Structure 1
Amino acid sequence: MPRFSVIVPAYKVQAYLHESLASVLEQSFTDLEVIAVDDCSPDACGEIIDEFAARDARVRAVHLDENVGLGRARNAGLRHATGDYVLFLDSDDSLTPGALQAIADRIKETGSPDVLLYDYARTYWDGREVRNEYARLLTEEGSAPFQLADRPDLLRVLMVVWNKAYSREFIEREGFSFPPGYYEDTPWTYPVLMAAESLATLDRTCVHYRQRRQGNILGTTSRKHFDIFDQYERVFDFLDQHPDLDELWRPVMFRRMVDHLSTIFTKRGRLPRRSRAEFLRKSRAHYARYRVAGARVPRRTRLRHALVRLGSHRTYRALWLALRLKTRASRYAATARRTLKAAALQLHYRIQLRLPVRQNEAVFTSYWGRGHGCNPGALEEAFREHAPRVRTSWIATPEHHHTVPTGTRRLTPGTAAYWTALARSKYLVNNVNFDRRLVKRPDQVFIQTQHGTPLKKMGLDLQDHPAAARDTDFAQLLRNVDKWDYVLSSNRHSTLTWERVFPASYTTLEYGYPRNDRLWKASSDEVARIRRMIGIPEGAVAILYAPTHRDYRITQRLTLDLERMLRTLGPRFVILTRAHHAYAEPLSAATGGRLIDVSDHPSVESLCLASDALVTDYSSLMFDYACLDRPIVVHADDWEAYEAARGTYFDLRSFPPGAVARSEDELIDIFATGHWRGSRSAQLRAAFRERFCTYDDGRAGERVVRHVVLGEPAPAAGAATGVPRQGTDATTPSSLPTM
């Protein structure tokens, strides 16, 4: 008896079926059976299923003599299921790596509940991936298992069959099966959740829910959408047969039904045009038949409920037309307001440009309005310490204002105060570029801090790499560069690169990067505090995994199975995952425990201090991390593709900061054998630091302020063989024994 029976019904999905079945059979958890049901598909689905069954004994091929539809095809699979738990997977969807292991672990942890609910992400044909908007409801906090009455908000999660694992004993005891027709999930999912004596949740994306460009059955125009009425009749029949559930759940099911009916009606393209009035009349009948006296209707859905209750197509059309006119008028008014506001702000800016520059004001920002950090953040702190007479301001979008120090003025992009600061501040500091409409005045000083040592091609060098350059306007780029007065550089390699790819008359300050000052100044107590705050267990080895952006990919596809890596390395290791700022999604669907997502942590310097080693591919973070003299491992599994798309200034594999892995297995082996912190890795790191960390000594910010603001000679720089003071503490990685 396997642990899991995964039922995959297939009909006209030959383009996706292979990926779907492979996503199950290639799971790290292997105690499973796959029941692939060919629903008399006219394409090659049956042949694909037979091919998988011939190769893998865990696959059972079931061929139906006639097309019976999705629900009955699932029933056919259920009749063959022998696993402890049953999972359903639509044949154009796929399981995420490590999903079954996570499901098995959570089932064991929560005492084998009747049903386990897990999360999903929508994957679009254009490469986008969006996690379920109600993912927060699947939190694992609180007692488990529980009943639906304890967490009724779970009904807001998409009510489908494939985001749950079901105890087969529970399903057979209750006699659940799927009805024919569209919306067959409805009379299965609601009764299952209401009847379950024990539920649990798994806060992890386990399914990639494919959003097909065309071919989605529920998105087609058909009278089969009328099946929804029969499906809700089955839900209320279930409640009639279970009086103990009826009083609590009938009002909820009534509201859900009305919302569902109105959604189908308002979704354009679902109902044939001539059937819409009939659908509304039938909706009105169902409303009257199942209405619960005194049922509370949320304010936001009262209009939709009223439309269903009235059931008048003419009323709906009149309201719809009125709302459409109102929306259009509001849109025009909003556009006019924005246009007038923009014109007023530019007039304000032009006036401010005629007023004197304020000699004791400086404005800072980084990464297009993100929070206080990177080189501008460190330099802003140096301004306050070494030139306190200069008033500092930080430009950030409102959601990042909390990161700005209390003594620093907060500015929101696009406001009058923002344009005033750009027009009249003596010092302008950024690690990218300000608004292209910025007029650089002769009395102003623009400090371009940059945000990394260049491994990948930059600036004008991207002209030969269109995949990376995309729509870069190189003429505008040079106009922006002409506004720079100073450019910071952390090493001679950077200096030579910046002056060639950003040609202009600025002065290069080869002083080191201010953001790395903290790596030298942090105490062992601060490191311990950061580790506790992140949730790193005492005595654990924390690996910071921070890959870079891929220009040749639309999405950030994680090539590493981090859960497998942790299982192999054992309980001593913890992985901190840091997604590149260009991506909105975390690197791994599974977070929590020993896999901690730190993508939203405001300070990458804190993450460097908290970690014992860095794993990256081609991120410039490696050049900063090398200052700590801690182990670095390069995962270069796609170097040729990356180099071809982006271009690089040197072959990292020939001059790495530590061990180099060319595959996932090699990476795991480097840590399992201790090579990551061995003598050869230390030698490579020393050579790397000598070349790229020459000026990092904890005083880069001070040097910039003394030279640019105070007009004093900058303190001498140079610490190629130095080690940050906190690195000698017994709790930090530099004290780990070599192997």
Structure 2
Amino acid sequence: MPEPDSQTPALSVVVHGPDVQGHLAALLDSLDAHPLTGTEVIVAAVGDWARETAERHTPAFTVLPLPEGAADSAARAAGAARARGRWLHFVRAKDGLPAGAVRRVAEHTAALPDTVDVLLLDHVRSTWRTTSLPSPDGPRLARAGRADLALDTAAGLLRLTPLLGNRAVRADFWRAHERLLTTDAEPFAATAALLLADRVACLPLPALEDRRLRPESLPPLTPEQWYALIERHELLLDLAEGREEHRDDARPAVYATLYDLMVRDCLRTYARSGMPDDVAREFFRRASDAVRRRRPSGLKTPAGLEGVRRSLLEEGAFGRYHALQAANRARRTVKKAVRTGRRRAGTRLRTLQYRRALAAPLDPHLAVFSAYWARGVACNPAAVAAKLAELAPHIHPVWVVTDRNAALLPPGTDHVVPGTRRYWEVLARAKYLVNNVNFPDAVVKRPGSVHLQTHHGTPLKQMGVDQMPYPAAARGLNFQALLERVDRWDFSVSANSHTTRMWQRAYPSGYVSLDHGYPRNDVFYTAGAEQVRAVRERLGIAPGRRAILYAPTHRDYEAGWTPRLDLAALADRLGEETILLVRGHYFYEGAASPLAGLRRTGRIIDVSSYDPVEDLCLAADALVTDYSSIMFDYANLDRPIVVHADDWETYRTTRGVYFDLMAEAPGPVARTQEELTELLTTDAWRDERAAKARAAFRRRFCEYDDGRAAERVVRRVFLGEDERALPPVLPLAERTPAPSPEAIA
């Protein structure tokens, strides 16, 4: 083995691809956390999000920006072309690297002879619900041993999970075969590398975290992609024949193993893919043809059900195979029904009513709206409904509202109460279903119906499946049921690219993101001086008095709401000319208010039950909050925001957050009541430093809010207009927020 060049890294880790569901940051952070002696890291970053994430790690890592949509093969090729290492380890941006893995791979490859072309590695597996489960590959790698091997004597290694990330390849070997190995079909490239290698070695230690994305979050495969799976298996068999043509015995172990893998893969794909009937029939026909033509002589058919399946596939007996599959599915259904038992009478009645309604055709002119678990006409759904009445009056809105809140509805609002017969009828027949949370689990996503998820905030705290590691936040949540609800979404509304990315990560499914802005925030750009003045008059705020909106968020680790400020003392320090508008989180609606003891003196007003909250924002000269998403909405007004974060470390640890608010706050941060009082009794709450922080915050989080979000949503969802024909988002510098109370005094 030649002496290594001291300037040449032993290993090049090539991280490649788009930042799918926000996993790239954790991967690069783990690489950056420890010195990597003899190793270089190259990030072939596909798209702006991956580039922005990777550039935080320069100059330690080499970043190669690639355009949005660049293929995996192109990203790998770009990284390999820049790599200087003697060995290459390809890691997809969605995956992870166990602690110490890079060091172990670098040390092991440095000791390998030049006769070895591929080093096989173990890996762990993660999904949205599990982390670092052992792979089935470990025992097979351990049995093979670490010495260099010829594949002909260890054909079982072909059964290892076909990932490029669970093998390192010698750089010269990769470049010699790059034309064949540069393909978007990673399983093909991973297996072909083994077939092309002269010798391989094994390292039975986990060196990759294979993060399996939820299938529902990925684009559906086209028929051509399904059929290509069969073609790839045949190409691998061709490679096996090429390497074995010099042998006397026909089609030995390597070929037989690949043939077995092809049959298994075709059967599994057909059974689990959910292909349309015509595609399934053609896939079965092509697979049957390949299996017959490629069958090794003397191969024995396995016994039992597996043998029956293989025989039917070889015969091309699509009808009989389909019947066998249906019979097995029916048996499983019966067993499940027996385990479930009889449902209660009330549930059976509801189910019967709903099923009858589902049998009726969809009403293309009916839309069901709901907000905050049926609390009333509010938030983004309310703004969408208002614009719908203007642009598409032929669509009739029906609101879902609890009996308790029905009395508070605007006059003439058509509504249904949850659980009633008409409630189930409109849910079954409406073409459009709009909500800022989720409709109940029992709601069926009918073909042709359109589910619009508007959400109700920009995420600072972790949401959806990201809550799983946090017991206080995850308490009582059924994440599988959550994702089944998410799978009903057709559209998801977003106010900024941060939110778009976090929703993709927290709610992994196949919906379309509408990067149009939050409709409820339109009013922050359409309201004029008269509207601001009218809201303040309704609240009893005299002209010239300063109004500060205090809106704290809910804490998962607290049983109820305990104000973290001595509001009476704060009001005394702020003086007669300042009014505190105090709004508790809606989760505490109905509980005894801790503000009850604070008499309405004219300086403290409990606005916890006041709707809409957008009015309170218009009325306030400044906002004081902790970690509430109201800060992202209020920032549209370009008015001062002060963050009171006395328990940031506890909140971050127990709830989980997506970014460090202390480093990226929209204004000054107070950690104690004394600091908050000091900020509000001086000019620090609105000085130049505060304005700069707010400007940076607005650039990041007020990206799509410009006063026309509701119009874009209605035109896209209800009128079916092309995305390119919608009103473009106005640049931030060209927007004019509603006038401040100070400006109109």
Q: Report the 3-state secondary structure (helix = DSSP H, G, I; strand = E; otherwise coil) of the residue aligned with 2:733.
A: coil
Aligned equivalent of 2:593, options 575, 586, 597 = 586
DSSP 3-state at the match of 1:487: strand
Q: Separation in 1 of the partners of 2:744 and 2:498?
A: 30
Q: 1:538 to 1:554 in 2, by over 3 A?
A: same
Distance 1:361 1:526, change over 3 A: same
Show the counterpart of 2:648: 639
Q: Does 1:676 align with 2:676?
A: no
Contact kept? 1:527, 1:610, Cα under 8 Å: yes
Equivalent runs, 1:202-241 vs 2, <5 Å:
none
The corresponding residue for 2:530 is 525
2:449 corresponding residue in structure 1: 444
Shift of 1:722: 4.4
Question: Is 1:551–2:556 an aligned residue pair?
Answer: yes
- Aligned partners of 1:722 and 1:642: how far apart in 2? 36
Give the distance between the partners of 1:535 and 1:399, measured in 2 at CA.
Answer: 27
Q: Name the SS for the 2:510 alignment partner.
A: coil
Letter in 2 for 1:605: E
Residue 716 in structure 1 maps to residue 716 in structure 2: no
Which of 614, 630, 649 does residue 623 from structure 2 map onto? 614
Q: Secondary structure at the match of 2:423?
A: helix
Shift of 1:392: 0.5
Deviation at 1:711, TM superposition (A): 1.6
**Aligned counterparts of 1:504 and 1:519: Cα–Cα separation in 2:** 31
TM-superposed CA distance for 1:383, in Å, is 1.1
Task: Tell me the secondary structure at the aligned position of residue 466 of structure 2.
Answer: helix
Following TM superposition, by how much is the alpha carbon of 1:419 offset from its aligned partner in structure 2, in angstroms? 0.5
Q: 2:738 aligns with which of 697, 701, 726?
A: 726
CA contact (8 A) 1:613 1:733 kept: no
TM-score (norm 1): 0.52
Residue in structure 1 matching 2:518, options 513, 519, 532: 513
Q: Secondary structure at the match of 1:349?
A: helix
Amino acid at match of 1:586: S
Task: Report SS of the residue matched to 2:367.
Answer: strand
Displacement of 1:408: 3.4
State the 1:537 CA deviation.
2.2
Whole-angstrom CA distance in 1 between matches of 2:615 and 2:383: 13
- Correspondence for 1:296: none
CA contact (8 A) 1:617 1:634 kept: yes
Deviations 1:149-171 (A, max 9, x none): xxxxxxxxxxxxxxxxxxxxxxx
Contact 1:627–1:724 under 8 Å retained in 2? no
| d(CA) in 2 for partners of 1:516, 1:734 | 20
Matches within 5 A, 1:678-717: 678-712=687-721, 713-717=725-729
8 A Cα contact 1:548 1:580, kept in partner: yes
Question: Shift in Å at residue 645 of structure 1?
Answer: 0.4
Matches within 5 A, 1:264-663: 342-583=347-588, 584-588=591-595, 589-593=597-601, 594-663=603-672
- Equivalenced residue count is 396
1:69-102 CA-to-partner distances (Å, cap 9, x unmatched) read xxxxxxxxxxxxxxxxxxxxxxxxxxxxxxxxxx
Work out whether residues 426 and 443 of structure 1, in 8 Å CA contact, stay in contact via their aligned partners in 2. Answer: yes
Alpha carbons of 1:696 and 1:442: their partners in 2 closer, same or farther (altered >3 Å)? same
Partner in structure 2 of residue 667 of structure 1? 676
2:8 matched to which residue of 1? none
Check conservation: 1:372, 1:403, Cα contact below 8 A: no
Contact 1:366–1:374 under 8 Å retained in 2: yes
The code of the aligned residue for 2:593 comes to P
Q: What one-letter code is carried by the residue in structure 2 that aligns with 1:479?
A: E
The alpha-carbon distance between structure 1 residues 396 and 722, as it changes in their structure 2 partners (threshold 3 A), is: farther
SS in 2 for 1:367: coil
Contact 1:459 1:502 in 2 (8 A): yes
Pair 725,463 (structure 1): closer, same or farther in 2 beyond 3 Å: closer
* Cα deviations by residue, 1:4-53 (Å, 9 ceiling, x for unpaired): xxxxxxxxxxxxxxxxxxxxxxxxxxxxxxxxxxxxxxxxxxxxxxxxxx
Per-residue CA deviations over 1:533-571 (Å, capped at 9, x if unaligned) read 111122110000000001111122112011111111110
**Identity of counterpart residues, as a percentage?**
49
Shift of 1:339: 6.2
1:317-338 Cα shifts (integer Å, max 9, x gaps): xxxxxxxxxxxxxxxxxxxxx9
Per the TM alignment, residue 470 of structure 1 is displaced from its structure 2 partner at its CA by 0.6
Question: Which whole-Å CA distance do the structure 1 matches of 2:670 and 2:735 have between them?
Answer: 26
CA distance in 2, matches of 1:407, 1:723: 34
Comparing 532-541 and 506-515, the one that deviates more: 532-541
Q: Which amino acid aligns with 2:707?
A: G
Q: Which amino acid aligns with 2:519?
A: P
CA distances 1:274-325 after superposition (whole Å, capped 9, x unpaired): xxxxxxxxxxxxxxxxxxxxxxxxxxxxxxxxxxxxxxxxxxxxxxxxxxxx
Structure-2 change in CA distance of 1:375 and 1:705 (3 Å): same
Shift in Å at residue 346 of structure 1? 2.3
Q: d(CA) in 2 for partners of 1:674 and 1:388?
A: 49
Structure 1 portions without partners, runs of 5+: 1-337
Shift, 1:345, TM fit: 2.9
Task: Find the aligned partners of 2:641 and 2:583 in 1 and give their Cα distance.
Answer: 15
Residue 348 of structure 1 and its aligned partner are, at CA, apart by 1.2
Q: What stretches of structure 2 of length at least 5 have no aligned partner? A: 1-342
Q: Supply the distance in 1 between the matched residues of 2:647 and 2:593 (Cα, whole angstroms).
A: 20
Give the counterpart letter for 1:699 in structure 2. R
**For the structure 1 residues 546 and 694, does the alpha-carbon distance in structure 2 shift closer, same or farther, using more than 3 Å as the test?**
same
Tell me if the contact between 2:646 and 2:671 (Cα under 8 Å) persists in the aligned partners: yes
Match of 1:39 in 2: none
Check conservation: 1:362, 1:390, Cα contact below 8 A: yes
2:529–2:744 contact (8 Å) kept in structure 1: no
Kindly indicate whether the alpha-carbon contact (under 8 Å) linking 1:578 and 1:587 is maintained by their aligned counterparts in 2. Answer: no
Pick closer, same or farther for the CA change 1:664–1:734 going to 2, 3 Å: farther
Tell me, in whole angstroms, the C-alpha distance in 2 between the residues paired with 1:448 and 1:483.
9
Partner of residue 173, structure 2:
none
